[in-house]
Amino acid sequence: MQYESTLEFARAQDEADPLRALRDRFHFPELGTKELVYFTGHSLGLQPKSVRAAVELELDEWAKYGVEGHFHSTNPWYSYHELLTPPMAELVGAQESEVVCMNSLTTNLHLLFVSFYRPTPQRYKIISEAKMFPSDRYLLETQARFHGFEPDDAIVEIAPREGERLIREEDILAAIETHADELALVFFGGVNYFTGQLFNMPRLTAAAHAAGAIAGFDLAHAAGNVPLLLHDWGVDFAAWCSYKYLNASPGNVGAIFVHERHGDNPDLPRFGGWWGHDKETRFQMKSGFQPMTGAEGWQLSNAPILGMSAMKASLDVFAETGMPALRAKSEKLTGYLEYTIGLLAEEFPDAEISVITPRDPSQRGCQISMDVAGRERKLFDDMIATGVIADFREPCVIRMAPVPLYNSFEDVFTFGRVMSELLAGGASQ
């Protein structure tokens, strides 16, 4: 696509965008009376306008029915989580039996590790990317120690080569081959939170299986951002949150994927809870845990309805739109942001601006991480003050995500204008 750094170009692209109407279905924060340019969907997605009615419905039903709402409300609470399964399964490329919404992300990963990290004295190593999100690193450290291993020995981190910012796929595959005889698990983020690098999950899964290991993924930055085919790829397990690209409200319920070859195995070790017990005999209240078939067998507790109602409202938007259309717009929109940053780098060489996210659209989602090595954090703070909301990571990286559901080409143009004024030393009003 041939980009142009003009307001006329940006508005023409927005006018031709088949998804342009989606923007009006989200609330945009304001700075005073000015609508913000919001590029932080990688941290917290915007609120769909339909969420309020969805949550208020359940509040009204609670007031009307009390406990009987579990069976007599408009969307009976006893089976409410089942409403989320079809759109979530479609979103991640899974069979419905392989997905369930429950708990929070790191909690879910710990529960999945009970089943899928089964180290032995011979096979205990975990291969992961360096600079994972801290929760993932803490997960690996504490899981290794729980099983009696030292993290520095058990965890094999794959880092970028000296002088590079991204991890080479061949280095991951080489490490899997090197440690094949002692490898228990390959565990990566689908998309790295810092660089925005999208890992080749089907290839990593195949390599893990060839080595006799399990393949699992944290999809916090992948779900709702990039196309996923978890079932077809043969991924063993995955988990993700819902408050980033899925726009389901702050800290809301997460979800898990367990491939059917594992979900149909009732003897697979796991922690049990009442809600994961066979629902046909659940109310008999007997001893002896009998897990439900599929991912539902990893549930512990009954569904948090208010949170799930917000999630349902957001998933309805995804179900109407579809990931292929979102991905098509995302590649164009993110490409425009990359182009705009390139112009800034040329105009202000002293700022030492560079993009650390892969330039190949197939190796990234909508996030662009921009290194501004020649400027202090004040540049980011000034950007926020002008109404362009992004995310800062030490030492000098600004993470931005133009989300195709609600961001526009004009948003990207505005960002470029604001940054040009700030880099030039002016104040954008």
Q: What is the CATH number of the domain that holds 340?
A: 3.90.1150.10
Same domain, 311 and 275: yes
Cα angle value 309/311/313 (rounded, 5°)? 75
Question: Which residue's structure tokens are 């393949």?
Answer: 215
Q: Is residue 2 part of a domain?
A: no
Examine the domain organization and report whether 340 and 368 are in the same domain.
Answer: yes
Rounded CA gap, 426 and 429, in Å? Answer: 10
Is 428 part of any domain? Answer: no
Q: Domain ends where: 283, 302, 320?
A: 320
52, 107, 194, 351, 427 from 376: Cα distances, Å:
40, 36, 18, 9, 16
Report the number of distinct structural domains present in the chain: 2
Residues 6+ apart with CB under 8 A from 63: none
Count CB atoms within 10 A of the CB of residue 8.
9
- The long-range contacts involving 61-65, CB below 8 angstroms and separated by at least 24 positions, are 62/305
3-state secondary structure of 164: coil
Q: Is residue 197 located within the same domain as residue 103? A: yes
Query: Does residue 269 contact residue 427 with C-beta atoms inside 8 Å?
Result: no
Indicate whether 312 and 338 sit together in one domain: no
Last residue of a domain, one of 320, 341, 375: 320
Smallest CA-to-CA distance from 396 within 366, 426, 374, 424 is with: 374
Q: What is the DSSP letter of 181?
A: G
Q: What's the pTM? A: 0.96
Q: How far apart are CA 194 and CA 208, in angstroms?
A: 24
CB atoms under 10 Å from CB of 98, counted, come to 26
48, part of any domain:
no
CB 424 within 8 A of CB 379: no
Q: What is the pLDDT of residue 26?
A: 97
Q: Give domain status of residue 264, yes or no.
A: yes
Judge if the upstream peptide bond of residue 151 is cis by omega within 30 degrees of 0: no
Indicate whether 380 and 305 sit together in one domain.
Answer: no
How far from each other are the two terminal CA atoms of the chain, in whole angstroms? 31
Domain boundary among 320, 351, 376: 320
Radius of gyration of the chain (CA): 23
Beta bridge partners of 99: 257
CATH number for the domain that contains residue 152 = 3.40.640.10
Tokens of 303: 């569904």
Q: Does one domain contain both 347 and 246?
A: no
- Are 211 and 350 in a shared domain? no
For the record, the structure tokens of 219 come out as 């999809």
The answer to whether 218 and 133 are in contact (CB under 8 A) is yes
pLDDT at residue 33, rounded to an integer: 65
pLDDT at 351: 92
Pairing of strands 397-400, 368-372: antiparallel
Quote the pLDDT of residue 427. Answer: 43
**Phi then psi for 259, rounded to 5 degrees?**
-60, 145
Contact 280, 305 (CB under 8 A): no
Could you tell me if 374 and 414 lie in one domain?
A: yes
Residue 316 lies in a domain: yes
CB burial of 22-44 (b: ≥16 within 10 Å; e: otherwise) equals: bbebbeeeeeeeeebbbbbbbbe
- How far apart CA 213 and CA 156 sit, in angstroms, is 14
- The structure tokens 């969805």 sit at 54
Distance CA 242, CA 235 (A): 20
Q: Is residue 429 part of a domain?
A: no
Q: Across the 429 residues of the chain, what is the mean pLDDT of every consecutive 10-residue run?
A: 96 98 95 84 97 98 97 96 98 98 98 98 98 96 98 98 97 98 98 97 98 98 98 98 98 97 94 94 92 97 96 97 98 98 96 96 97 89 92 93 98 96 70
Number of Cβ within a 10 Å radius of residue 335: 17
Q: Are residues 105 and 205 in the same domain?
A: yes
Tokens of 270: 């796991």
Asked if 199 and 230 sit in the same domain, the reply is yes
The answer to whether residue 45 sits within a structural domain is no
Nearest to 258 by CA among 266, 246, 250, 249: 266
Could you tell me if 400 and 334 lie in one domain? yes
Q: Both 208 and 147 in a single domain?
A: yes
Number of C-beta neighbours around residue 373 at 10 A: 11
- Domain span including residue 341: 7-35+322-423
Is 279 a member of any domain? yes
